[in-house]
Homo-oligomer: A and B are copies of this chain.
Amino acid sequence: MFVGLCALLVSLGALLWPPQPARRNVSLIVTGGIVVPMDGAARIINPGAVAVDGRDVVAVDGAAAIAERFASATTIDAAGQIVLPGLINTHTHAPMVLYRGLADDLALMEWLQKYIFPAEAKTVSPEFVRAGTRLAALEMIQSGTTAYADMYYFEEEIAKATKEAGIRGVLGETIIQFPVPDAKTPADGIARATAFIRQWKGDDLIVPAIAPHAMYTLDADTLKQIRAVADRERAPLIIHLAETLDEVKIARDKYKMTPVQFLDSIGLWGDRTLAAHAVHLTPADIQILAKRRVGVSHNPESNMKLASGTAPVLDLQKAGVVVGLGTDGAASNNDLDMFEAMRQAAFLHKLTSKDPRALPAATAVRMATIDGARTLGLDREVGSLEPGKRADLILVSTRGARQTPMYDPISHLVYVARGDDVQTMIVNGKIVMRDRRVLTLDEAAVLDEAVKWSAKVRQAVGR
């Protein structure tokens, strides 16, 4: 008893003397996990911790070092979890989740003409887009995506719903030559896009952008006008590029050039420009994309499911082109799970290059985080866990049977983790999901609303 009391006093003494350096109070500490900062140093800190104050990361270090320097009323225990930057989906069409699995295993033209175009003509409205974006945001939060690039219609509704959901979006109002639900002419579309960009510029979560659909669905003059708007408004420009051989054929027949060359000839390639798919490229195309510093969004699942082909990702990376990962819309994938995109990218390029060392797990994680941020011009804000950057991070469970044992956390992120393993998400310093409970959306209401819309979609296409 006496000995015990002495020990207690000695312990108290050690705590009180020498006097503790004052610890800085911060808004949130995530501690005890396997921290993968993706800060360029290829390091893993275990057990590590991340201190967050307001919207920003203030420190990334060992758990003990963070405990010495920081205190917070809100602490998240990340034991048994991997802590990494939120995943960045560089290509999707969020509201199309409402067409998920509407029609699969069809030739592209049949799929578009019998299902997607009729469904879009009859159902796309501001209400549809809001409901679809809420469902997409719920799915993205539940699978670890903290930021995404979008191309669709009524993009202002997508912006509102994305901001309400508490995640980050680079949202491109789409412009196309033929009449679409939110614009009768491309001129209407350009006017809408300009207004949208001006309305949302400077928002802390939403980056408004302009999205010419593709070189084969817009004429040269409209494409030039769109580039001019992007330059004037300093907005990102997002475009589909060389997704199919049909597009390559159209470019050749109409312009005697490849899609990349044609777009280069009219001056479309510029700063903060993202090309989605980039499947069918010549070596000269790759050089142009590198020279113009165009970012590429690679969508392995969509490219496989739609039989589009294999993008030359290894060659692009070798040439210095930054390549991020995307899922594409859920109508052609059929989900928004970026863990699947990482795994598929690694598998696809090993197979195609006949080299199991190609596109290793660490590269797949880099593409889904910091490289994705670079393609969107967001790498000063997000994509890695570093002091001064926004606090966008996820906690991924590693405790299931299918994740046991774990020899290498990076391998597990790519080859065994799934979106469902994401337990907790923080975006811009705020907790968006904690232990699988999404705090920003009413999950049951979002699902109910989606089911209601699906009945209208069914009716629209007669299924």
CB within 8 Å of B: which residues of A? 97-98, 100-108, 111, 135, 138-139, 142-143, 301, 303-307, 309-310, 333-337, 344, 346-348, 350-351, 353-358, 360-361, 399-402, 404-408, 411-412, 415-416, 418-420, 443, 446-447, 450-451, 453-454, 457-458, 463
Tell which of A108, A304, A353, A406 has the most Cβ of chain B within 10 Å: A304
Given contacts A305-B347, A306-B356, A418-B420, contact A142 B402 (CB under 8 A): yes
CB pair A356–B105 under 8 Å, yes or no, is yes
Q: B135, B334, B358: which contacts A411 (Cβ < 8 A)?
A: B334
Given contacts A100-B416, A415-B305, A416-B100, contact A454 B405 (CB under 8 A): yes
CB pair A402–B139 under 8 Å, yes or no, is yes
Residues of chain B within 8 A of A348, CB atoms compared: 304, 351
CB pair A453–B101 under 8 Å, yes or no, is no
13 contacts between A and B (CB under 8 A): A101-B407, A103-B407, A105-B346, A135-B401, A142-B400, A305-B346, A305-B350, A305-B356, A307-B355, A334-B411, A344-B347, A401-B447, A405-B450
* Chain B residue nearest to A143 in the complex (CB): B402
Q: B304, B337, B405: which contacts A350 (Cβ < 8 A)?
A: B304
CB pair A304–B458 under 8 Å, yes or no, is no
A404 and B446 CA atoms in complex are apart in Å by: 10
A-B contact sample (7 more), CB < 8 A, given A101-B405, A405-B453: A98-B405, A102-B408, A105-B346, A106-B357, A344-B347, A405-B454, A407-B457
A139 and B401 CA atoms in complex are apart in Å by: 5
CB distance from A424 to the nearest CB of B (A): 17
CB distance from A68 to the nearest CB of B (A): 30
What 8 A-B pairs are tightest by C-beta distance, nearest first?
A405-B454, A105-B360, A304-B347, A334-B415, A101-B411, A307-B356, A139-B401, A138-B401
A460 and B453 CA atoms in complex are apart in Å by: 56
A404 and B454 CA atoms in complex are apart in Å by: 9
A336 and B400 CA atoms in complex are apart in Å by: 13
Given contacts A334-B411, A361-B104, A411-B101, contact A351 B310 (CB under 8 A): yes
Residues of chain B within 8 A of A447, CB atoms compared: 399, 401, 404
CB distance from A395 to the nearest CB of B (A): 17
Residues of chain B within 8 A of A138, CB atoms compared: 401
